[in-house]
Amino acid sequence: MQKAFDLQTAPDWLQRLEREIQKFRATPNDRDAAINFFIAAESMLDWKHPGDGNASIRKTVRDSEPLLKVIWDLASVAKHREVRPNHDSVDDSGVIGEFFGAGFFGGSFFGALSVKLKGPAAAQFGASVPAIELAERAVAYWKAHA
């Protein structure tokens, strides 16, 4: 098995995810920290069920868990810059309640990185959730399921 900078197993990737949440906690309004976290969190499913032969398992798990759908949607839009038809849990993300706009005071004056949800995700978590809260839920989920 080839290593990815000494990461070989799902527990290794979970440790990486825990390092990413530490960075995000330190700067909860940092868009880069949020994107890095959600891309890492989305990859956790690939590490748990690797390979093309497990694609249907990954889809089943993701489709059964609104949190994983949210993570998938956020990571996919960040990576591919487009919303695809099967990405249906996130309505928008960004600094909600921003007073002066993204260029002033680092883009977080009176605002917080949040995610506007729809569908089953909104029913489970609410219409708008702080991004750091979703990240904390993701770490808790993977600690229980890795």
2: left (phi over 0), alpha (psi -120 to 50) or beta: beta
- Asked if 45 contacts 54 with a C-beta cutoff of 8 angstroms, the reply is no
Coil vs helix vs strand at 85 = coil
pLDDT beyond 50 at 100: no
Q: pLDDT value at position 121? A: 95
In what side-by-side order are the strands of the sheet with 90-96? Answer: 90-96, 112-117, 128-130
Q: How confident is the model at residue 89 (pLDDT cuts 50, 70, 90)?
A: confident
Nearest to 137 by CA among 58, 54, 48, 38: 38
User: So what's the pLDDT on residue 84?
Assistant: 59
| Strand extents, DSSP E, 63-117 | 90-96, 112-117
Phi, psi (deg, nearest 5) at residue 134: -65, -40
**In this model, does residue 92 exceed pLDDT 90?**
no
Characterize the bridge pairing of strands 112-117 and 90-96.
antiparallel
Which of the residue ranges 50-59, 66-75, 81-90, 98-107 would you say has the lowest mean pLDDT?
A: 98-107
Q: Report d(CA 113, CA 25) in Å as an integer.
A: 12
Share of the chain above pLDDT 70, in %: 79
Question: Tens digits of per-residue pLDDT, 4-52?
Answer: 667 788 999 999 999 999 999 999 999 999 999 999 999 999 999 999 9
> Quick check: 135 and 24 in contact, CB under 8 A?
yes
Cα distance between residue 13 and residue 4, in whole Å? 10
List of residues 6+ apart from 10 with CB closer than 8 A: 44, 47, 48, 146
The answer on pLDDT for 108 being more than 50 is: no
Per-residue pLDDT, averaged over 77-94, amounts to 69
